[in-house]
Structure 1
Amino acid sequence: MTTPRSTGLPTATPRRRPGSITLSLVGFLFLVELASGILQGYYVPLISDIVTHLGIHDADFNWFEAGQLLLSAATVPLLAKLGDMLGHKRMLLISIAVTALASWALVLAQDFTTFLIAWSLQGVAAVWLPLEVALIFDRGRRTGTAAAATRRSAGLLVVALEVGAIAGALGGGRLFAALGEQVPPTLGAPAIVVSLVFFAVLFGVPESEPLAGRRLDGGGFALLALSLVLVTSGLTFLRLNGPGAWWVWACIAAGVLLLVPWGRLELKHPDPAIDLRTLGRRSMWPIQLTAGLFGISVLGAQVPLSTYAGTDPANGYGLGLDAGDRSIVIGIYLVALIVGASVFAALSRVIRPRTMLLIAALLVALGYLLFVPFHLTLAEVLTNMVIAGLGSGALVAALPSAAAAAAPRGQTGVATGLTNTTKTIGGSFASSVFGVVLVTGAGMSAASLGGYLTVWIVCGAGALAAFGALLLVPRSAFSDSEPGSDPDGDAAAEPIVAPPEPHAPAV
C-alpha cells in the first residue's frame, strides 16, 4: 500500500489566526452595551415615581444626575488607564460588578442619601465602551487589521447601546404598571441585566495583553480627578444656582488652574496618567476636541429639544406635543442614531476614517443649523433631528475607535476613555449654559424663542468647529498601516516606557 502523495492543498479548515477579532467576542460585548443602554433608558419614565417613593422634590433629582456625572468624570480616566496596565477585561469586570452592586442598592434604597450614593456609583458604567473598544483593538492589533475591525465593531456596539436605551425606556414604564406600580421590584430589572452581563464577560471575553513595567501615576490622577470634579461640579452648580453665584465661577476657575501643575507633573513623569505628548499629536488632539464639541449637542441639547417639542404653539413657536408624542419624537432620533452607527460600520471598509468623521460632523452641523429657519412644524423638526441623529450616531461609534487607532500601544484604553471624559465635560458646559440661556427672557411658562435659537446655533457652530479641527488630521490617520509607520510623521509610534527604578514597586 502506498502513501498518498501530498497535493500541497489544505486538507482541513485553517485555524483562525491568534488574536483575531471573533464574532463571539463582539457578540458578548454587544450584550454589555445592550445592558448599558437599558441603564440609560430604563429609569427615565420612572423619575416621577422614584421622587414620590423617596419623598423628595422633583428638583432634588438633579443631585442624582450631578453625582453620577461627577463620579464618571473622575473615575473613567483612571479605570481606562488601569485597563491599559492590568488588562482591559479585568477593569471591565470590576466596573460591571460595581455597577451591578449599585443597581441592587437602588432596589433597597429608602432614603435620599442612600439612593444618591448608589445612583452616583452607576456612573462607572461610562467606562464600559472605552474598555470594550480597547479590548477589540488589542485583540486585532496582532493581525494588522485592528483599526478597520475596531471601527466596524464599534458601530455595532453603538447600535446595541441605542437599542438598549429604546428597550429600557419602553420597558421601564410597562414593567412598573405590571408590578402594581411598586418602585423597588421595578428597579430590580436593570440590576438583574447588569449582573448577567458580568458572567457573559467573565466566560466569553478574552483578556488583552498589557505591557509590562508600568507604574500608576497616582499624583497625576489625583490632580486630574480634582480638576475634573471642580470643573464639572461648578458647571452643575451653575445650572442649579445661576450665573450670579460667584463661588460657582471660582470653582470652575480653580479646576482649570489645577491643570497647570498637573501638566508640569505629567511632562516629567516616565509613565504619566495622560501622555500630553501623545495627546498633542495631529491624529489625537482633533479627536479629543471633537469629542468635547460633540458633547455640546449630543448631551447638552436633548432637554431643550424635548421642552421645545412640548411648548404650546400659542407662544408663536413650539409643537405642543404631550409626553407620549414627545417620546415618539425622541425615539425617532434614537433610531437615526442607530442608522448612523450602522452606516458607519458598513462604510468603514470603503471610506477613509477621516472622511467618515468629516461627513458625520457636517451632518450634525447641518441638522442643528436647519433649526434656525425651519422649526415651526413637526415635519421640519423631525427632519432636522434625523439629519443630526445620523451624524451623531456615526460620531459616537467613530470617536473611540479613532482614538484607539491614534494611540500608541499601552495607551489605547486611556485614549478612548478621554473621548468619553471630554464629551461629558462638553455636555456639562452646554447643559449649564443652555439652562441659563433658556431662562433669560423666558415667559411665564416657556423659554424664549431667542433662547432656543441660541442653543441650535451653538450646537451647529460646535459641530462646524469640530469639522475644522478634523481637517487638520492627516489623511491616512486611523487606518491600518505597516508596523512602525506613523501617520503623524512623528517618531516612535510605540511608547517608550521607562523601566521601574531599583526597589520601586511596579504595578
Structure 2
Amino acid sequence: MSTATSTPDAARHEVPPRASSTIVAVLAFSGIVVALMQSIVIPLIPELPRLLDADASDTAWAVTATLLAAAVATPTVGRLGDMYGKRRMLLVSLVLLIAGSVVAALSTTLVLLIVGRVLQGLASGVIPLGISIMRDELPAERLGSAVALMSASLGVGGALGLPAAALLADHFDWHVLFWVAAGLGVVALALVVFLVPAADLSSGGRFDPVGALGLSVALICGLLAISKGGTWGWDSGRTLGLGAASVVVLVAWGFWELRTSEPLVDLRTSVRRQVLLTNGASVMFGFAMFAMSLVMPQIIQLPKETGFGFGGSMLDVGLVMAPSGLVMMAAAPLSARISRASGPKVSLMIGAFVVGCGYLTNIVLMSAVWELVLVSCIIGAGTGLAYGAMPALIMSAVPSNETAAANSLNTLMRSIGTSIASAVAGVILAELTLDLGGYAVASQDALRLVMGIGAAAAFVALVIGAFLPRREAGAPVAHH
C-alpha cells in the first residue's frame, strides 16, 4: 500500500495527457451511473403500490431507504478512501451498486426492493471518491475542468436518467430498469479496473467506528424526521423525537470527534472559514437544485383543466428536463476557466446568481413547454458553474490525505439541502391546493412560492460565497 509520503504532485505529473483524459472519462461515467440511481425509480413510484401489492406510504421507502443509506455511506466511505485507498473504495462502491441493482431486479416484494435500494444508496460515495482520485492523478492544468465535470455528473445523471427510465418503464417490465442499472455498473467497474491507475495515495491510520456510528445515527434520525414529517405530522411525537435525538447525538458526536486522535471527520479542518462557508453554500444549492426537480414535473403532469398544467407523462417530464443535464455538463469546463481566471469563489457566486435568476424567470415563464425547457437550462447552467467550484474550494483548504473525506462531507451537505427542499416543498404543495373535480392538486401559487424559495436559497448561497476568502487567479490547489 502506498502512503501519504508519496507526493500528490509527483503522482499527477507522471500521467500522460491521453491517460489523464481516459481517467476523467471513466470517473465521470461512473459518477453519472451512480447519479442515475437517484432518478431511475421515480417513474415507478406511482405504480409501486400496485406492482408490489403494498401501501403507498410503505413504497415511499424505496426512495427514503436510498437517501438514508447514502447519508450513512458518503462520509464513512470518504474516510476509508483516505485511509486505505480511494480507488479501492471506489471499486467497493461500484460492486455494491451492481449487487443492489441485481437484488432490485430480482425482487418481487417490497422488502427485497428496499434491500436493493439500500445497497444502491451505499454506492453514493463514487462521485467524491472520483474527485479525490483526480486530485491525486491528474496534472494541475487538467484538474480544474476534470473536477468540475465530475462534480456536475451528479446533476447530469439525474437529468438524463429520468427520460431513459420513463421510456423503459413504459415499454418493458419494471425489473428491466434495474437490470440496465446493473449492466451499466458492470461496465463502470470494468473500466475502473482496467483504466484507472492502481497506485492509490493513502494515509493509513485507525478507523473511527464510534464516530461513524454516531454520525450515522444522527443523520438517519434527522433525515427521517425531515423526509417523513409530512406523512407522520410535523408535531407528532415520532417526528419531534427523531429531530431531538438527531440534535443530541450530533452534539455528542462532535465532542467525541474533537477528543479522538483520528476522527472520522476532522472538525477543526471543517470549521475553517473556506470549508465551513463552502459547505453552507452547498446546503443552499442542494435545496435550490432540488426545488426544480419538484416543481417542473408538477407543472408538466398536472391536468390541462387547472389552466396551467400540461397534462403530460413522466416521459414528457424527462424530455423537458434532459437538456438541463447537457447544459450542466457544458458549463463544467466554463466553471473551470472562470476559476482559473478569477478563483472558484467567483464561479460559485456566478452560478448562484444564474440559478436564482432562473427561478425568478420561471415564476413569470411557465405557460409553454419551450419556456420550461429554457428555465431548466438556465438553472442547469448555474448549477454546473457552482458545482464545479465547490470541490476546488474544498480541496484548496484541506490536506491531501483528507481529500476524500472532505469531498464526501461536501456531497453530504448537498444531500441534506435536497432533503430539506423536499420537506419544505411537500408542505407547501400539500397546503396550497386547487380543487379539481373532487380531488386536490397543487395550485399555481404553491408552485410559484416553491420557485421563489428556490431563488431565495440560491441568493443566500451567493451571499455566503461573497464571504469566502479571496484567492489569486490561477492559484493552484493547495497540498499539505
Please tell me whether the aligned partners of residues 133 and 401 of structure 1 are also in contact (alpha carbons under 8 angstroms).
Answer: no
Is 1:54 the counterpart of 2:46? The answer is no
C-alpha separation in 2, matches of 1:164 and 1:276: 31
Q: Partner of 1:503 in structure 2?
A: none
Distance verdict in 2 for CA 1:230–1:177, change over 3 Å: closer
Q: Partner of 1:241 in structure 2?
A: 232
| Offset, 1:468 | 1.0
Measured against aligned partners, the alpha-carbon deviations of 1:408-427 in whole angstroms (never above 9, x if no partner) come to 12110011101111111111
Q: Partner of 1:467 in structure 2?
A: 462
Please tell me whether the aligned partners of residues 150 and 401 of structure 1 are also in contact (alpha carbons under 8 angstroms).
Answer: no
C-alpha separation in 1, matches of 2:225 and 2:399: 33
1:199 to 179, 184, 190: 190
C-alpha separation in 1, matches of 2:122 and 2:275: 24
1:149 to 111, 118, 142: 142
Please tell me whether the aligned partners of residues 155 and 344 of structure 1 are also in contact (alpha carbons under 8 angstroms).
Answer: yes
Please tell me whether the aligned partners of residues 350 and 385 of structure 2 are also in contact (alpha carbons under 8 angstroms).
Answer: no
1:87 to 71, 85, 88: 85
Q: Partner of 1:112 in structure 2?
A: 110
Measured against aligned partners, the alpha-carbon deviations of 1:66-87 in whole angstroms (never above 9, x if no partner) come to 0110111011101000101111
C-alpha separation in 1, matches of 2:282 and 2:184: 29
Paired AA for residue 338 in structure 1: M
Q: Partner of 1:18 in structure 2?
A: 14
| Structure 1: runs of 5 or more not aligned | 1-14, 484-492, 495-507
| Offset, 1:20 | 6.3
Q: Partner of 2:26 in structure 1?
A: 28
Distance verdict in 2 for CA 1:321–1:48, change over 3 Å: closer
Deviates more, 1:354-363 or 1:24-33: 24-33
| Offset, 1:356 | 1.0
Matched residue SS, 2:258? helix
Query: Which structure dedicates a bigger proportion of its chain to helix?
Result: 2
Q: Partner of 1:277 in structure 2?
A: 268
Matched residue SS, 1:199? helix
C-alpha separation in 2, matches of 1:205 and 1:359: 33
Distance verdict in 2 for CA 1:439–1:38, change over 3 Å: closer
C-alpha separation in 1, matches of 2:131 and 2:188: 17
Please tell me whether the aligned partners of residues 215 and 253 of structure 2 are also in contact (alpha carbons under 8 angstroms).
Answer: yes
C-alpha separation in 2, matches of 1:186 and 1:372: 34
How do residues 247-326 of structure 1 correspond to structure 2 at under 5 angstroms? 247-312=238-303, 314-326=305-317
Is 1:219 the counterpart of 2:214? The answer is no
Measured against aligned partners, the alpha-carbon deviations of 1:164-213 in whole angstroms (never above 9, x if no partner) come to 556544444555666xx33445532211221222122122212331124x
Please tell me whether the aligned partners of residues 239 and 433 of structure 1 are also in contact (alpha carbons under 8 angstroms).
Answer: no
1:411 to 402, 407, 427: 402
Q: Partner of 1:505 in structure 2?
A: none
| Offset, 1:218 | 1.9
Matched residue SS, 1:446? strand
Please tell me whether the aligned partners of residues 438 and 451 of structure 1 are also in contact (alpha carbons under 8 angstroms).
Answer: yes
Q: Partner of 1:455 in structure 2?
A: 450
Please tell me whether the aligned partners of residues 351 and 386 of structure 2 are also in contact (alpha carbons under 8 angstroms).
Answer: yes
| Offset, 1:398 | 2.6
Is 1:134 the counterpart of 2:107? The answer is no
C-alpha separation in 2, matches of 1:43 and 1:439: 22
Measured against aligned partners, the alpha-carbon deviations of 1:276-334 in whole angstroms (never above 9, x if no partner) come to 11111122111101111111122244122211233345445444444443332222333
Matched residue SS, 1:125? coil
Q: Partner of 2:75 in structure 1?
A: 77
Calculate the TM-score normalised by the size of structure 2: 0.88
| Offset, 1:133 | 0.3
C-alpha separation in 1, matches of 2:175 and 2:387: 33
Measured against aligned partners, the alpha-carbon deviations of 1:142-164 in whole angstroms (never above 9, x if no partner) come to x6x2xx53321123335655565
Measured against aligned partners, the alpha-carbon deviations of 1:19-55 in whole angstroms (never above 9, x if no partner) come to 5671222122133124224434444444455554323
Distance verdict in 2 for CA 1:184–1:156, change over 3 Å: same
Please tell me whether the aligned partners of residues 234 and 248 of structure 1 are also in contact (alpha carbons under 8 angstroms).
Answer: yes
Distance verdict in 2 for CA 1:294–1:215, change over 3 Å: same
Q: Partner of 2:200 in structure 1?
A: 208
Structure number with bigger Rg:
1
C-alpha separation in 2, matches of 1:432 and 1:121: 24
Paired AA for residue 449 in structure 2: T
| Offset, 1:345 | 4.2
How do residues 333-352 of structure 1 correspond to structure 2 at under 5 angstroms? 333-345=324-336, 347-352=338-343
Distance verdict in 2 for CA 1:335–1:363, change over 3 Å: same
RMSD: 2.7
Please tell me whether the aligned partners of residues 294 and 463 of structure 1 are also in contact (alpha carbons under 8 angstroms).
Answer: yes
1:103 to 77, 101, 125: 101
The count of residues paired between Structure 1 and Structure 2 equals 463
Distance verdict in 2 for CA 1:136–1:374, change over 3 Å: same
C-alpha separation in 2, matches of 1:390 and 1:115: 34
Please tell me whether the aligned partners of residues 126 and 420 of structure 1 are also in contact (alpha carbons under 8 angstroms).
Answer: no
